[in-house]
Structures are given as structure tokens and as C-alpha cells.
Amino acid sequence: MKILVVGGGGREDALAWKLSQSRLAEKIFIAPGNAGTSMRGENVPISADDIDGLREFALRESVDLTVVGPELPLTMGIVDAFEEAGLKVFGPSRKAAQLEGSKVFSKELMTRLGIPTARYRKFTDPVEARAFVEGLNSQVVIKADGLAAGKGAIVCQTMDEALKATDTIMVKRAFGDAGASVVVEEFLSGEEASFIAVTDGTTVLPLAPAQDHKAIYEGDRGPNTGGMGAYSPAPVVTKAMEREITERIMEPVVRAMKEAGTPYSGVLYAGLMLTENGPMVLEFNCRFGDPEAQPILMRLKNDLVEVLLASVEGRLHEIELDWDDRAAVCVVMASEGYPGSYEKGKEIHGLDEAVKVEDVVVFHAGTAEVDGRIVTAGGRVLGVTGLGTDIGDAIKRTYSVVEMISWEGVYYRRDIGAKALRR
């Protein structure tokens, strides 16, 4: 089979790495890919949101299966466009992807289904939003309605911060039109977990739970990023909790989407806060987590092409997942300054030695090849991911490889996985 992976981040490198191991895969294309994906298959210079360009390419090359990594093309309708052209594609339709594309849509659905989530109010008028915030005396989270690359939720400790966040999103439009409406929601405390499942619109197949590290600094301090590291399994999510999340959150959502005539297939990812009162949903995403996909896919023993094909063909009930008992930890190496502005084009050293270490994979994110050298080309640059007998061992092995790699202005958190060790 010919397989096309859409995207160019760490998640897409992990997908390409795993798909390329399939006995069914003859050829892997990655559009646009990065310096790492060119080692797993062939990079194609078409951007992930150029839907017409991607469709033309897939038709010309007779691609048998397309796997979409990022949310943007999904919310733009890449799946609808490919299906209309008779192409097989893994991911939700434009309407189904609203579950991530609109916070208001997903909050309304959760409220209707009685799925535990933070109490909230939505606003399209900044004056009304301010008046509401002024009437509150507790901590709140202010969220842009639309997509904002993981940065559109601002956690506010004081009313002053909340008023400023409302302004930043609705008036200054820091996230563009994504901030035309906002959700103001109650602050939830607890530990976060990423619960990711594959679904064909009927069957829900949960993947191993993972935990992300969203904040830029150690100790979960500082502004949120796309994610600075992750590990799987997540000991905080017990077997009983996994069942509860599947039956009380994931399955009802998939059932409701089908009943509404907008069946949801692809990846359904629930960002959860594990509170004193049980798991509550912070948000839904319509794609694999990045960096959660990296440790999860390192632990998955199944042929990924078989799993994704079964989802596309509506026969996911035939699949049973098989996991490596070992733990996997992914440490994201980033450019100094991220999630704010940063420099690009720094030569990366130490990769040749790093890739030789067994049971550790260096996934690429923001990298590019220039004149035979690999240089930085984004905020999150690499995701070093290692397996170990337990989380502690995986942390040790992963950081030993992280320390082999360097560039001018490299930044990474030194405490990825520490949370799991404290348990």
C-alpha cells in the first residue's frame, strides 16, 4: 500500500516511523514532513492545509490510505474532500472535527450528554464577558472558541488577570478570529491526563493512557505550550478509571455524533482533569496528541496500518490492541524562547551517535536539512523517546540520549516523568 501522512511535526514523524514498519506499507509519503520523516519515507513539499494540492497528489500517486496528523486540515474538511474523490482517509469529517474546532460546540454537547466538565458561560460580546468576570470571585480559565495551537486557554489566578485575558482574546484578537467568542469556565484542580482512542464511528478502541507536560518550565510553571514531554502508561489512570472514561465519556460522544448524522471516526482525544470528583473533560481533540503519540506509538505492538484501515473501513471491532509492558518517556527539545519567538537555523549536533542507542528513537519536529546539515526550523525541534523497564528506567535512558544532542539555544525540561515517579 501507498500511505500519505499529512503534517510535519513530531507526531507525524512518529506516525511515519510506525507506519513504515507495517508489512502492508510499500511506500510512505509525508507532506510536508521534516528532516526526520525523510528517513522514514519520501517528503512531499505540499503544506498540510493545502487540501486541493494534497488531494491532487493522492490521486496522481494512487495513494491507498491517507493519515492526517494535525487538527487544522481536519477542521478545514480534508476528510470530506478526500472521500468525495474516492480516497481512503483516516480522520473525522469537517463537521465531526468541530469537537476540537469549537469549544462552544463541544461544551454544548457535553452539557447535553451530562459528561462531567467545568461549568462555563460563552460570550461573543467583550463587554458582557467583562461584566461576567467582574461578578466572579474565584479562579477562572478564559478560552478562545476556535483553534489557537494549544495556546488559546489562559488560566487566571486573579480578576485582573481574567479581565486582561478577556481583552487579549476578544479585543486584541491575539488568536485572530478564534477569539470572536470565548468560553469562561471554572478552574478545576487535579492532575491532567490524555485519553486517546481510535474510533470508526461505532466502536471505541482506547489507546494506552498518557500524560503530557503543557507548561514551559519545570514544576509545571509558566505559559502553556503544545507539550514539552509525555509518558505512557500513566499510573494515575487506573484500569477502573479507564473503563469509566470509555463508558461515560468516549462512547456517549461517539454515539451522539452518529445520532446527529455527523458520525465521528478517527482519533478522539479527551484532555482530562482527574479531580476529587472523578475525571472531568477539559477539551476534546480530533487527532493524536503531540507529544503523546510518540510514547504511545513506541509501546504499540500492533501493525498500525491494520488498525487505521479497520477504522476507515468500519470494522474496528475486529481489532485488539497489544502493548509493550515497558514504559516510554518522550522529552521535547525546543528552541530557546518557545512558546514565544525564537531563532531558527541552528545546526543540531550529536544526532549520529544518538540514533544508535537501542530502544530510543529521536523523533524530529521542527527540523530541516540544509546543505547536508540538520538545523532547527521550529519551536519544538526533537522528541527523544525511550523505552525502559519502568518509568524511572525510561527517564534515565531517554535523558542520556537527550544529553548527547545539542545546538545553540537548546531548551528542555529536566523533570519529564517526575510526576509519575512520585506515585
**168 contacts ligand AMP (rule: CB under 6 A):** no
* Interface of this chain with ligand GLY, residues 208 to 227, rule: CB under 6 A: 212, 226-227
CB of 199 to ligand AMP, least distance (A): 20
**136 contacts ligand AMP (rule: CB under 6 A):** no
Alpha helices in 210-250 (DSSP H): 239-245
Closest CA to 332 of 419, 235, 230: 230
Q: Which does 181 bind (CB under 5 to 8 A by kind): ligand AMP, ligand GLY, none?
A: none
Q: CB nearer to ligand AMP: give 82 or 120.
A: 120
Q: What is the x/- site pattern for ligand GLY, positions 146-185, by CB under 6 A?
A: ----x-----------------------------------
Contacts of 210 by beta carbon, 8 Å cutoff, 6+ apart = 193, 194, 196, 230, 231, 232, 233, 234, 289, 292, 295, 296
Q: Which does 118 bind (CB under 5 to 8 A by kind): ligand GLY, ligand AMP, none?
A: ligand AMP
Q: Which does 292 bind (CB under 5 to 8 A by kind): ligand GLY, ligand AMP, none?
A: ligand GLY
- For ligand AMP, which stretch binds (CB under 6 A), given 66-74, 185-193, 196-204, 347-355? 185-193
Provide the total of helices (H) and of strands (E) in the chain, helices listed first. Answer: 15, 23
Q: CB nearer to ligand AMP: give 41 or 379.
A: 379
**153 contacts ligand AMP (rule: CB under 6 A):** yes
Q: Which does 208 bind (CB under 5 to 8 A by kind): ligand GLY, ligand AMP, none?
A: none
Closest CA to 169 of 187, 151, 189, 186: 151
Which residues, in sequence order, are bridge partners of residue 269?
A: 196, 285
Contacts of 401 by beta carbon, 8 Å cutoff, 6+ apart = 354, 357, 360, 362, 384, 386
Q: What nine digits make up the cell of 161?
A: 488577570
Q: What nine digits make up the cell of 141?
A: 480559565
Closest CA to 329 of 389, 384, 284: 384
Among 100, 283, 290, 292, contact with ligand AMP (rule: CB under 6 A): 283
Q: What nine digits make up the cell of 140?
A: 477562572
- For ligand AMP, which stretch binds (CB under 6 A), given 1-9, 187-195, 196-204, 339-347? 187-195
- Interface residues with ligand AMP (CB under 6 A)? 118, 141, 143, 153, 155, 185, 187-188, 192, 214, 224, 271, 282-283
